[in-house]
Amino acid sequence: MAGVRQFDEREALARALEVFAVRGYRATSMQHLAVGTGVQRGSLYHAYGGKEQIFLRVFGDYTQAFLTGAAQTLRQDDRHSALLSFFDHCIRSITAGTPSRGCLSTRTVIDAGSEIPQVETVVRTFLDDLEDTVHNGLAAIDDDDLAVDLRSAARLVVTTTRGLAVMERAHHEPDRLRDIAAALVTSLTGHSRSG
């Protein structure tokens, strides 16, 4: 039947996300996407357009799910626990897979962000939304233990997630990432993991 997709769209988009995560935006071609998704290039072009359009689609789905998860992790009784939970969420995401896939947004902005304006815009929007998610999550907790104002804390937390993504690529050690995150949380809240 004309106009009916002959492939599982959800599965194809999930596989396209993995191709981008493993190869990076710049190194991914339509042929890589065709092989990775099991969908012919012509069908991909017809369904979504070119590489940029496919990336924008899968990146949007990926970041929306990530932000939803991040907001849920921040629903804790105190800011210290909320931040540790948030960082655990981030670390699980960047260490997922074998080998680990790393952080798609960080990799993309370094790899191709300034060359493709739409891609740069969606990554910047995601980082701004992530900052707002952290800010709003911390603001919802009736706690008075931050060493800096809420906006500065949120900005510092998001910036640290980018550093964790780079450290993961260099060391591939989730425990090291958790230690870095815990040190920041202690600095911000004034008490340690056990306190």
Nearest alpha-carbon partner for 94 in 35, 155, 174: 174
Give residue 161's pLDDT. Answer: 96
% of the chain beyond a pLDDT of 90: 69
Burial class (CB in 10 A: 0-12, 13-18, 19+), 128: exposed
Give residue-wise pLDDT tens across range 27-52: 999 999 999 999 999 999 999 989 99
pLDDT at 106: 87
Please tell me the pTM assigned to this model: 0.89
d(CA 176, CA 195): 20
For the record, the structure tokens of 61 come out as: 């789905």
Q: Kindly report whether the peptide bond that precedes residue 99 is cis, defined as omega within 30 degrees of 0.
A: yes
CB neighbourhood size of 187 (10 A): 11
Q: Which DSSP category does 193 fall into?
A: T
CA distance 145 to 177: 23
Token readout for 124 is 């910047």
pLDDT (0 to 100) of residue 99? 73
Residue 3 pLDDT exceeds 80: no
Confidence check: pLDDT of 195 > 50: no
